[in-house]
Amino acid sequence: MNPLERLALALLHRMDPERAHALSIRALKTGLAPLPRPFTSPRLETEIAGLSLPNPLGLAAGYDKNAEVLAPLARAGFGFIEAGAVTPRPQPGNPRPRLFRLPEDRAVINRFGFNSEGMEAVAQRLARRPQDAVIGLNLGANKNSPDRAADYAAVLGRLGDHLDFATVNVSSPNTENLRDLQGAEALSALLSGVMETRSRLSRRIPIFLKIAPDLEDREIGEIARVALDAGIDGIIATNTTLSRDGLTGAERCQSGGLSGAPLFAPSTRILARLYKETGGRLPLIGVGGIATAEHAYEKIRAGASALQLYTALVYGGLSLVGEILRGLDQLLVREGFATVAEATGTNTEKWL
């Protein structure tokens, strides 16, 4: 991390977290945020679900919720970017305060509740998206919708032609009863509608499913079977957790989804279980607690074909992207792997 980035982070951490988040978006939008030089290596070039990525490390949904800063983010070294979640109609989300830092735990708790400007506002921005980057969108549902499953299809139908992939998010803990859609019957019906909508887009894009870390092995097996039957192109494991095990931060009792370092082990266990349940037939994207090259490598060996991070950027800044990729490249060389794909799933047993 360079001195300017260290100073900027220190100043942001003196502010209310949600205000700091908005200020960082504004800094990127106006060109005031310094962008790191991307790290490239042929060993890191990755193929997943038909997508060609310059590297396997993507930006998770939740940072650029309304697709406001896709262009500068595309220059920051990520292999792919996921905006959103986006809902059909604008909605404010839950009351503030709803974002809390736990620096002692290198973690964050949020209870945003799908705050979104809505798909029409986002459509205008996606129409101007950078074409030289892999851009996806996290699909969401309105809180008061009478048919949340239909909401996912509606957002995909409106925005899908501007995207390289889309993610069905049924795992946010901050919208009441949303996680009920992870049940086999409800999930099968929801995915059927989404896949039917995809068939009407101008081109085929991969559809990913994002799941929660708070699942039993039986539930993981059910989700894997439904995903395979539905023809889903991959699973993102995982979203935030409701667990508060081992936390020491002053805000640890806040309600909402926990992300960051404490999520690394439980999300990696889910990842490895999914890899076993699917026999490696379904690409997996590992997310949860990644803050170092070693974390990234561990996720890959547990079964991930690609990765995402977000919370670690709160503490490490955008320069962390290049640091992780450089270290990951060195680990692949040291362990004798020519590509990320060669390392994928080579140490799942550690987590089972």
Q: What is the pLDDT of residues 310-328, one digit of tens each?
A: 999 999 999 999 999 999 9
**Residues found in the chain:** 352
Question: What pLDDT, on a 0 to 100 scale, did the predictor assign at position 1?
Answer: 86
- Give the burial string for 48-76 (b: 16+ CB within 10 Å, else e): bbebebbbbbbbbbbbbbbbbbbebbbeb
* Confidence band of 271 (pLDDT split at 50, 70, 90): very high
In the set 171, 172, 259, 305, the catalytic residue is 172
Is the pLDDT at 10 greater than 80? The verdict is: yes
Asked whether 43 and 326 are in contact (CB, 8 A), the reply is no
- Mean pLDDT within 56-83: 98
Is the pLDDT at 182 greater than 70? The verdict is: yes
Is the pLDDT at 177 greater than 80? The verdict is: no
Q: What is the pTM of this model?
A: 0.96
> What are the tokens at 320?
């962390």
Question: What pLDDT, on a 0 to 100 scale, did the predictor assign at position 185?
Answer: 84
**Bigger pLDDT: 310 or 219?**
310
Is residue 259 among the annotated active site residues? Answer: no
- Give the burial string for 219-229 (b: 16+ CB within 10 Å, else e): bbbbbbebbee
Is the pLDDT at 174 greater than 80? The verdict is: no
Q: How far apart are CA 163 and CA 167, in angstroms?
A: 11
Question: What pLDDT, on a 0 to 100 scale, did the predictor assign at position 341?
Answer: 98
* Confidence band of 2 (pLDDT split at 50, 70, 90): confident
Cβ neighbours for 147, distance < 8 A, ≥ 6 positions apart: none
Question: What pLDDT, on a 0 to 100 scale, did the predictor assign at position 176?
Answer: 62
On average, the pLDDT of the chain sits at: 95
* Confidence band of 172 (pLDDT split at 50, 70, 90): confident
* Confidence band of 179 (pLDDT split at 50, 70, 90): low
Strand 165-169 and strand 284-287: the pairing is unpaired
- Mean pLDDT within 273-277: 96
Question: What pLDDT, on a 0 to 100 scale, did the predictor assign at position 100?
Answer: 98
Is the pLDDT at 300 greater than 90? The verdict is: yes
- Mean pLDDT within 34-54: 96
3-state secondary structure of 18: helix
3-state secondary structure of 33: coil
> What are the tokens at 63?
């940072």
Domains and CATH numbers, the chain: 36-351 (3.20.20.70)
Asked whether 86 and 119 are in contact (CB, 8 A), the reply is yes
Nearest to 78, CA basis, from 114, 123, 46: 46
Q: How far apart are CA 105 and CA 120, in angstroms?
A: 38
